[in-house]
């Protein structure tokens, strides 16, 4: 058994903070200890108390004065788009057709998929992200590379082979039967292996025929515990085209609802331009809207009404994500900085406690995985990020006048990136140091 005692300033959320003053919503331990045994957190609390529980010869790592938090969770990104990031396009559909689809065709080659998978996990670890929910390409080879590398690093990952059978280049199309059979094969090869979760992944309604949506519906019925991920209501031209393709549906959300794809394990990327009716049915179903701020700004898609959706009488569950490669940063800190600015433009406030809740426990709850990840609670998995608010000279200078924890968190979010990630632990193992 490997046992480690980590020392530092601990921060972990119990629930969503109601305001900046809501100190009941989180645990903050100024001189904290975290006991990690065989990849699990077994004790959390004041350093002296936790040390008293540890065997005398327990190895100790002192991260003071840094913050130790649950590792960041990225709820939506595309593993085959690492070389699409920073592509110059006017809007979503141009970006997809000009850059994204041609690039994803390359993932039919195992060697390419395996190489990019290694880079993918390196970047996640560098940025303090310990769980991510990813789209692979349409090719089973890409899902195999994605899950094999996750297992090698012992990371809790969610991913899926994309299903798409129209409106894309030939090299990126499956058929309803292939999409169904290969998804089943990916599930039997990878789901529950190591810490892997397979998600049923129809790309979006534009690239799936009604026949493929039927096949997706069958998968959702056969595997009700699996996550389902797709895109919804990202861009006005996309919405118009989608509704033309499914003229019988009331609106975009209704297309997915008709195929039984609207439920508490359903993760909808973007969901920016929802009507009141769509927000209502999302809420009733317990479906999750995944906000991707850097992508929404980069592609000019729109301003996601995060606060308005969260404070509805029937609130919509919300996740946050980078959306690499429509998104422009791997960093969840950079992501929440942009989320903050979007709410500013909408005349809303997103306070730093809410941001850090969303990146950790909030995303874990949105994945229905908060019993395993997203907090520092004993019994959960020791996926951690260690943050240094003095990582750059400009940050260190500002830290001279920072007095409170929320101020420090806000500084980290506003100025921080991978340089502020001093270490990333996956199941108790320090992986950033090994990069």
Which residue in the set 74, 149, 278, 323 belongs to the binding site for ligand GUN (CB under 6 A)? 323
Q: If binding is defined by CB under 6 A, does position 78 make contact with ligand GUN?
A: yes
* Neighbour count for residue 182 (Cβ, 10 Å): 17
| Total residues in contact with Zn ion, by rule CB under 5 A | 2
Distance between CA atoms of residues 318 and 267, nearest Å: 9
The answer to whether residues 117 and 79 touch, using CB atoms and an 8 Å cutoff, is yes
Question: Least distance in Å: CB of 203 to Zn ion?
Answer: 8
Which residue in the set 4, 12, 44, 100 belongs to the binding site for ligand GUN (CB under 6 A)? 100
Alpha helices per DSSP H over 127-235? 140-153, 176-190, 210-222
Q: If binding is defined by CB under 6 A, does position 165 make contact with ligand GUN?
A: no
| Residue 234, contacted partner among Zn ion, ligand GUN, none, CB below 5-8 A by kind | ligand GUN
Give the DSSP H/E element, type plus range, for residue 95: helix 92-95
| Total residues in contact with ligand GUN, by rule CB under 6 A | 11
Residue 334 or 372 having the CB closest to ligand GUN: 334
Contact code string over 314-353 relative to Zn ion, x by CB under 5 A? ---------x------------------------------
* Neighbour count for residue 429 (Cβ, 10 Å): 17
**Cα 197 to chain centroid, rounded:** 13
Which residue in the set 139, 231, 334, 432 belongs to the binding site for ligand GUN (CB under 6 A)? 231
Give the 3-state secondary structure of residue 198. Answer: strand
Strand 421-426 relative to strand 429-430: parallel, antiparallel, unpaired? antiparallel
| Residue 179, contacted partner among Zn ion, ligand GUN, none, CB below 5-8 A by kind | none
Distance between CA atoms of residues 60 and 386, nearest Å: 15
Angle formed by the axes of helices 140-153 and 176-190, nearest 10°: 20
Please state the φ and ψ torsions of residue 85, each to the nearest 5 degrees: -45, 145
Residue 7 or 231 having the CB closest to ligand GUN: 231
Question: Nearest-CB residue to ligand GUN?
Answer: 326
Provide the token pair at 9: 């300033």
Contact code string over 284-303 relative to ligand GUN, x by CB under 6 A? -----------x--------
Q: If binding is defined by CB under 6 A, does position 216 make contact with ligand GUN?
A: no
Residue 8 or 80 having the CB closest to ligand GUN: 80
Question: Least distance in Å: CB of 191 to ligand GUN?
Answer: 23
Question: Least distance in Å: CB of 165 to ligand GUN?
Answer: 14
Which residue in the set 127, 197, 203, 291 belongs to the binding site for ligand GUN (CB under 6 A)? 203
Distance between CA atoms of residues 315 and 418, nearest Å: 32
Could you say which residues in the range 252-311 bind Zn ion, by CB under 5 A?
Answer: 269
The answer to whether residues 95 and 327 touch, using CB atoms and an 8 Å cutoff, is no
Please state the φ and ψ torsions of residue 362, each to the nearest 5 degrees: -60, -50
| Residue 343, contacted partner among ligand GUN, Zn ion, none, CB below 5-8 A by kind | none
Question: Nearest-CB residue to Zn ion?
Answer: 269
Rg, Å, the chain Cα set: 21
| Residue 144, contacted partner among ligand GUN, Zn ion, none, CB below 5-8 A by kind | none
Q: Is 321 left (phi over 0), alpha (psi -120 to 50) or beta?
A: beta
Which residues would be at the binding site for Zn ion (CB under 5 A)?
A: 269, 323
């Amino acid at each position: 058994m490997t046992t480690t005692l980590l020392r530092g300033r601990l921060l972990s959320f119990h629930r969503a903070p109601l305001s900046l003053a809501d100190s009941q919503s989180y645990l903050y331990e100024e001189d904290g200890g975290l006991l990690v045994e065989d990849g699990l957190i077994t004790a959390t609390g004041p350093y002296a108390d936790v040390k008293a529980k540890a065997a005398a010869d327990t190895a100790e790592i002192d991260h003071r004065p840094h913050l130790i938090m649950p590792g960041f969770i990225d709820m939506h990104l595309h593993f085959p788009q690492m070389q699409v990031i920073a592509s110059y396009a006017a809007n979503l559909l141009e970006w997809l057709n000009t850059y994204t689809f041609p690039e994803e065709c390359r993932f039919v080659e195992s060697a390419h998929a395996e190489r990019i998978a290694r880079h993918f996990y390196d970047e996640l670890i560098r940025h303090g992200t310990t769980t991510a929910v990813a789209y692979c390409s349409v090719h089973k080879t890409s899902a195999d590379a994605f899950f094999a590398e996750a297992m090698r690093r012992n990371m809790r990952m969610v991913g899926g082979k994309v299903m798409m059978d129209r409106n894309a280049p030939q090299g990126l199309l499956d058929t309803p039967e292939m999409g169904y059979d290969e998804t089943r094969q990916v599930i039997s090869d990878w789901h529950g292996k190591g810490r892997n979760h397979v998600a049923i992944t129809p790309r979006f309604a534009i690239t799936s025929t009604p026949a493929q949506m039927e096949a997706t519906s069958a998968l959702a019925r056969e595997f009700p515990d699996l996550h389902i991920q797709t895109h919804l209501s990202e861009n006005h031209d996309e919405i118009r085209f989608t509704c033309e393709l499914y003229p019988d549906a009331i609106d975009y959300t209704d297309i997915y609802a008709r195929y039984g794809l609207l439920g508490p394990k359903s993760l909808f990327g973007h969901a920016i331009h929802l009507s009141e009716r769509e927000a209502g049915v999302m809420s009733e179903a317990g479906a999750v809207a995944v906000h991707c701020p850097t992508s929404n700004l980069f592609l000019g898609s729109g301003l996601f009404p995060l606060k308005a959706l969260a404070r509805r009488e029937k609130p919509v569950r919300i996740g946050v994500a980078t959306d690499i490669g429509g998104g422009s940063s791997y960093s969840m800190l950079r992501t929440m900085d942009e989320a903050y600015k979007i709410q500013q433009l909408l005349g809303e406030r997103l306070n730093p406690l809410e941001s850090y809740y969303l990146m950790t426990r909030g995303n874990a709850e949105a994945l229905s995985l908060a019993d395993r990840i997203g907090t520092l609670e004993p019994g959960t998995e020791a996926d951690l990020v260690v943050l240094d608010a003095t990582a750059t000279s400009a940050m260190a200078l500002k830290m001279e006048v920072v007095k409170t924890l929320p101020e420090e968190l806000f500084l980290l979010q506003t100025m921080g990136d991978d340089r502020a990630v001093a270490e990333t632990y996956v199941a108790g193992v320090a992986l950033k140091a090994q990069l």
